[in-house]
């Protein structure tokens, strides 16, 4: 049962698509206090678990920390961080009582989940203008299903997007891309996508191509596609301010940019230097910006990633003036003026400053809205701009799209990647923990930068991370400029990479089928064990294994130098290992705890009792997969419903997409 409560005058975020009437009165679980802004309180039972929050730090069980929904471009995802790039305000309290809460509020919101007082859940925000959805159900899983049912169908990418992709900030020329393609193809490591980071543009200007490096771009897109490789360019939120740059001029003339109080266009520096932000909350501006993607779709591009859309601000002219003042005071008055420390502090505060977010406005349905009041909706609406445009460009075709910043509602238009992680073992585990939480909030097409974005990776970390990435819908190796080369073929014994990435392709029939089933029935692709085995007290605590679809459990190795790991089986399962020689080992393991050996070049999974999964032969690209000749792995007599379609169009309901296979 879902009830919707209204407080004050909420901003219509359009996160929820179902038409739900506002309930009278107050929610029956927890209490609400409206003395200072909004506050929701609930006293948790000792054993209550709290799930949700999508892209957030720490565990699957969110209890014991404080999280703040305030989309932030912060590449240091250390354990103490309370905000990441997204705002996913949905939680489920599971235990003595089971209920879910979605706080539809577009800016800074705090979830204190047993941080200040271990038994207290407290949700607070400054303005009591919001919708609160309270969902009651039988179990955490049931509540998630109900929630997913009211926020609209999750985004469905084209099938090629289930292949493996290589990215690196720093590829500049056609030769750089050709080298990556050749590196993979020569070493026979499968590959479907190469991502184009900001250097493909002319001066980091959106919807331009570096003229010297990308002459005859459609020809180049074709050249790659002939090798079954798609180029996937990045689009940044800020539009460079430059005379003669048509996007900037059109935006200025059309009034499509966010404005300052005095009506002039807001100015903020990002990669290109000073930029204007398209006012993607304004439907007209959104349409204008979305149509710009045509510049690349018309040249054969079928997918994009949207970045810097928190929106990220490096500094503003006003911020720089402030620092300049401090430096002047330091220079002119060495004794009484600003100190070096103050100057350093001020420099650090230049980026993503609250003051800047308070100094510009959106136009929404004739109303002027200060950005900080709707801050968490920018990435959502930038991606919506593209998603709505794709519907106009080719309504029958699916495009690849994922974003860095997001809010619930954006899950209908694209996936997300989890931003600038590091080449740290702890971030491999964080990647795993975020996945089911994201699914709860509707984000199914997700993944992290495999191998780690910041810092130098190591061969073993990349291999172990790929062995998790084999299962994440978005499987992309991405790294920052200046880091060690991270393409699979840069390391010794490339055959290990060929094998691990190859397992992804072997599993695509199953992974794609489970993805589609989850998307088409508002279900989860990744689940915590607790959702399948709610009566098992040990399953409730597992934070380093996941259920994937209805047939398998995954338990990747995430520790340096480990030769295996402990794993908990809530029921008997078939322990399967994809061995480097192409063979598959299978061993029935009884319910309980086991230590399992998993070498660096092996990929493990567990088939649930009585189930089976289809497995293909490895291929160099999704296009080359032979989905007609599938091997069936699992329990004898088991059946599996396989979903399969052309992977391009949207004919999802066609009964021919489903067939039963039997072991």
Of 550, 568, 656, 523, the C-alpha closest to 612 is 550
Minimum CB distance to ligand GLC, residue 198 (Å): 4
For residues 104 and 307, which CB has a smaller minimum distance to ligand GLC in the complex?
A: 307
Q: CB-side exposure of 97: number of CA atoms within 13 Å?
A: 13
Q: Residues with Cβ < 8 Å from 93, sequence gap 6 or more? A: 29, 42, 44, 48, 49, 50, 99, 100, 101, 121
Q: Are strands 230-236 and 303-307 parallel, antiparallel or unpaired?
A: parallel
Minimum CB distance to ligand GLC, residue 572 (Å): 42
Minimum CB distance to ligand GLC, residue 480 (Å): 6
- Asked if residue 94 lies in contact with residue 85, where contact means CB atoms within 8 angstroms, the answer is no
93 scored as a contact of ligand GLC (CB under 6 A): no
CA-based diameter of the chain, in Å?
Answer: 85
198 scored as a contact of ligand GLC (CB under 6 A): yes
Q: CB-side exposure of 220: number of CA atoms within 13 Å?
A: 19
Q: How many CB atoms lie within 10 A of CB 339?
A: 12
Beta bridge partners, 233, equal 196
Minimum CB distance to ligand GLC, residue 192 (Å): 19
* Interactions with ligand GLC, residue window 512-551 (CB under 6 A): none
Angstrom CA distances, 80 to 58, 83, 84, 209, 528, stand at 9, 9, 11, 39, 23
d(CA 410, CA 387): 9
For residues 54 and 272, which CB has a smaller minimum distance to ligand GLC in the complex?
A: 272
Instruction: Cite the DSSP H helix spans in 339-493.
Output: 340-348, 354-357, 378-393, 425-440, 459-469
* Interactions with ligand GLC, residue window 228-257 (CB under 6 A): 234
N-terminal to C-terminal alpha carbon distance within the chain = 39
Transcribe 629-654 into DSSP letters. Answer: S-EEEESTT-EEEEE---SSS--TT-
Minimum CB distance to ligand GLC, residue 405 (Å): 10
Altogether, the residues listed in the chain come to a count of: 663
419 scored as a contact of ligand GLC (CB under 6 A): yes
Among 104, 122, 197, 645, contact with ligand GLC (rule: CB under 6 A)? 197
For residues 171 and 526, which CB has a smaller minimum distance to ligand GLC in the complex?
A: 171
Q: Residues with Cβ < 8 Å from 280, sequence gap 6 or more? A: 286, 289, 378, 381, 382, 384, 385
Minimum CB distance to ligand GLC, residue 422 (Å): 12
d(CA 192, CA 189): 10
Minimum CB distance to ligand GLC, residue 374 (Å): 22
Among 5, 65, 115, 169, contact with ligand GLC (rule: CB under 6 A)? 169
For residues 159 and 478, which CB has a smaller minimum distance to ligand GLC in the complex?
A: 478
For residues 112 and 449, which CB has a smaller minimum distance to ligand GLC in the complex?
A: 449
For residues 13 and 472, which CB has a smaller minimum distance to ligand GLC in the complex?
A: 472
* Interactions with ligand GLC, residue window 547-586 (CB under 6 A): none
Minimum CB distance to ligand GLC, residue 478 (Å): 6
Minimum CB distance to ligand GLC, residue 552 (Å): 30
**# residues near ligand GLC by CB under 6 A:** 9
For residues 419 and 634, which CB has a smaller minimum distance to ligand GLC in the complex?
A: 419
* Interactions with ligand GLC, residue window 443-502 (CB under 6 A): 478
Transcribe 572-634 into DSSP letters. Answer: -EEEEEE-TTS-EEEEEE-SEEEEEE--TT-EEEEEETT-EEEE----SSGGG---SS-EEEE
- Asked if residue 35 lies in contact with residue 80, where contact means CB atoms within 8 angstroms, the answer is no
For residues 70 and 285, which CB has a smaller minimum distance to ligand GLC in the complex?
A: 70
Tokens representing residue 190 in the block = 């499968």
Among 302, 307, 514, 522, contact with ligand GLC (rule: CB under 6 A)? 307
Q: Which H helix or E strand runs over 314? A: none
d(CA 635, CA 613): 9
For residues 82 and 404, which CB has a smaller minimum distance to ligand GLC in the complex?
A: 404
Minimum CB distance to ligand GLC, residue 275 (Å): 14
Minimum CB distance to ligand GLC, residue 193 (Å): 14
Minimum CB distance to ligand GLC, residue 78 (Å): 16
Q: CB-side exposure of 298: number of CA atoms within 13 Å?
A: 9
- Asked if residue 355 lies in contact with residue 320, where contact means CB atoms within 8 angstroms, the answer is no
For residues 199 and 514, which CB has a smaller minimum distance to ligand GLC in the complex?
A: 199
* Interactions with ligand GLC, residue window 133-152 (CB under 6 A): none
Minimum CB distance to ligand GLC, residue 643 (Å): 31
For residues 241 and 416, which CB has a smaller minimum distance to ligand GLC in the complex?
A: 416
For residues 171 and 533, which CB has a smaller minimum distance to ligand GLC in the complex?
A: 171
Among 159, 373, 384, 404, contact with ligand GLC (rule: CB under 6 A)? 404
Minimum CB distance to ligand GLC, residue 39 (Å): 34
198 backbone dihedrals φ, ψ, rounded to 5° = -55, -20
3-class DSSP assignment, residue 425: helix
For residues 206 and 420, which CB has a smaller minimum distance to ligand GLC in the complex?
A: 420
For residues 478 and 565, which CB has a smaller minimum distance to ligand GLC in the complex?
A: 478
For residues 197 and 645, which CB has a smaller minimum distance to ligand GLC in the complex?
A: 197
Name the residue number minimizing CB distance to ligand GLC.
169
Minimum CB distance to ligand GLC, residue 7 (Å): 35
Q: What residues make contact with ligand GLC under the rule CB under 6 A? A: 169, 197-198, 234, 307, 404, 419-420, 478
């Amino acid at each position: 049962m879902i009830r919707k409560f209204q407080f004050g005058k909420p901003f219509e975020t359009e996160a929820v698509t179902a038409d739900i009437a506002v309930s009278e009165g107050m929610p029956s679980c927890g209490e609400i206090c409206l003395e200072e802004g909004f506050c929701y309180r609930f006293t948790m039972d000792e054993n209550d678990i709290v799930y949700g929050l999508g892209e957030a730090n720490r565990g699957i069980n969110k209890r014991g920390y404080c999280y703040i929904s305030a989309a932030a471009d912060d590449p240091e995802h250390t354990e103490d961080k309370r905000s990441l790039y997204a705002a996913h305000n949905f939680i489920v309290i599971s235990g003595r009582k089971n209920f879910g809460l979605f706080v539809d509020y577009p800016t800074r919101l705090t979830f204190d989940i047993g941080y200040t007082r271990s038994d207290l859940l407290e949700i607070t925000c400054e303005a009591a203008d919001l919708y609160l959805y309270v969902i009651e159900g039988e179990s955490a899983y049931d509540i998630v299903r109900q929630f997913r049912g009211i926020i609209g169908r999750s985004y469905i990418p084209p099938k090629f997007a289930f292949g493996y992709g290589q990215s690196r900030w720093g590829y500049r020329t056609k030769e750089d891309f050709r080298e990556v393609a050749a590196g993979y193809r020569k070493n026979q490591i499968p590959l479907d996508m190469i991502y184009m980071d900001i250097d493909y543009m002319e001066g980091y200007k959106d919807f331009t191509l570096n003229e010297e490096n990308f002459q005859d771009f459609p020809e180049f897109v074709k050249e790659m596609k002939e090798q079954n490789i798609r180029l996937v360019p990045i689009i940044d939120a800020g539009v460079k301010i430059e005379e003669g740059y048509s996007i900037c001029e059109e935006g200025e003339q059309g009034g499509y940019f966010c404005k300052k109080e005095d009506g002039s266009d807001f100015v903020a520096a990002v990669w290109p230097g000073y930029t204007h932000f398209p006012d993607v909350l304004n439907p007209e501006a959104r349409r204008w910006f979305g149509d710009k993607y045509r510049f690349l779709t018309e040249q054969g591009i079928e997918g994009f990633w949207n970045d810097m859309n928190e929106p990220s601000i490096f500094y503003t002219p006003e911020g720089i003036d402030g620092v300049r003042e401090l430096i002047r005071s330091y220079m002119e008055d060495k004794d009484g003026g600003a100190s070096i420390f103050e100057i350093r502090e001020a420099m650090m505060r230049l980026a993503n400053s609250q003051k800047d977010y308070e100094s510009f406005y959106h136009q929404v349905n004739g109303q002027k809205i200060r950005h900080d009041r709707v801050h968490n909706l920018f990435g959502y609406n930038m991606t919506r701009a593209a998603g709505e445009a794709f519907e106009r460009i080719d309504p029958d075709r699916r495009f690849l799209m994922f974003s860095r910043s997001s809010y619930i509602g954006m899950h209908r238009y694209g996936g997300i990647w989890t931003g600038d992680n590091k080449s740290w073992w702890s971030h491999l585990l964080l990647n795993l923990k975020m996945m089911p939480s994201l699914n709860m909030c509707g984000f199914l097409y997700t993944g992290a930068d495999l191998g780690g974005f910041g810092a130098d990776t190591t061969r073993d970390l990349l291999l172990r991370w790929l062995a998790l990435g084999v299962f994440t819908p978005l499987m992309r190796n991405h790294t920052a400029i200046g880091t060690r080369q991270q393409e699979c073929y840069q390391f010794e014994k490339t055959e290990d990479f060929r094998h691990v990435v190859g397992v992804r392709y072997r599993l695509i029939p199953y992974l794609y089928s489970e993805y589609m089933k989850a998307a088409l029935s508002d279900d989860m692709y990744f689940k915590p064990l607790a959702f399948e085995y709610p009566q098992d007290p040990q399953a409730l605590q597992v934070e380093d294994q996941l259920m994937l679809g209805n047939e398998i459990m995954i338990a990747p190795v995430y520790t340096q130098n480990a030769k295996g790991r402990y794993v908990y089986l809530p029921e008997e399962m078939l322990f399967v290992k994809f061995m480097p020689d192409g063979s598959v080992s299978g061993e029935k393991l009884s319910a309980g705890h086991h230590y399992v050996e998993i070498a660096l070049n092996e990929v493990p999974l567990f088939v649930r009792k009585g189930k089976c999964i289809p497995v293909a032969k490895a291929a160099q690209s999704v296009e080359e997969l032979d989905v007609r000749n599938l091997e069936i792995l699992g329990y004898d007599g088991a059946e599996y419903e396989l979903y399969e379609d052309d992977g391009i169009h949207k004919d999802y309901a066609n009964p021919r997409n489903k067939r039963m296979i039997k072991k």
